[in-house]
Amino acid sequence: MFLKTTLILLAFISVVYSQTDDEESFLFVTKQTVNRFIVQGKELTIKYGLYNSGPTTVFNVNLNDVHSYPSKYYELLVGTLNPKWERINAGANLTHVVVLKPKESGISNSSHAIVTYQKSEKNAEVQRTYSSEIGDVYIMTGREYDRRFSSHVIDWILFTAMASPCIVFPFFLWFNSKRKYELLASKDKATKKAQ
């Protein structure tokens, strides 16, 4: 009985140690836009999320997303499209935010970001992973955005100014006619009482 228990305990310990030696860290990378609508000349916020899913720290993490947002079509306002981190600890989350301004309207493709890292300081082998893709996005013009989503206060003021003569003039005519008939009716009543 003692020998059987000892063998089971040794087998369990060897399984636990073999699993922790074989487990390696892997980075999960997400990429998403914070904006609901992307408008030419207005700020566009891109958020990257990096998660170290393994039991060990990863080192020399480089994110590269310059190819998705070339300077010809986007102006970089805040952050960098090629950030670097010395390490990301086991089980840790990291968030990186970039603010851009689209220079042109139309369809734009925002493909995946490339992330390279090392699984340990001693291991010089570079691992590569890719973020999720945003895909094709429609960048609308500022005029189109204002037409669809602004409060249109000036439009309502102009509409009221143009529509008011069509309402006020007939009301004025009706009111004058009503007043004339009321005056005639009161004079008729007064003459009938006098007779």
**Residue 109 and residue 49 in one domain:** yes
**Residue 123 and residue 167 in one domain:** no
**Residue 115 and residue 33 in one domain:** yes
In a domain, 1, yes or no: no
The whole-chain average pLDDT of the chain stands at: 84
Strands (E), the chain: 27-33, 38-39, 44-52, 58-64, 74-78, 84-88, 93-102, 106-110, 114-118, 126-130, 135-140
Percent of the chain with pLDDT over 90: 39
The tens digit of pLDDT for each residue in 120-154 reads 777 778 889 999 888 888 999 988 888 888 777 88
Q: How many domains does the chain fold into?
A: 2
Q: Which of 115, 114, 95, 97 is nearest to 25 (CA)?
A: 115
In a domain, 58, yes or no: yes
In a domain, 5, yes or no: no
In a domain, 2, yes or no: no
Which domain covers residue 172, as residue numbers? 151-195
Cβ contacts of 115 within 8 Å, gap of 6 or more: 27, 29, 50, 61, 62, 63, 64, 128, 129, 130, 131
In a domain, 131, yes or no: yes
**Residue 165 and residue 188 in one domain:** yes
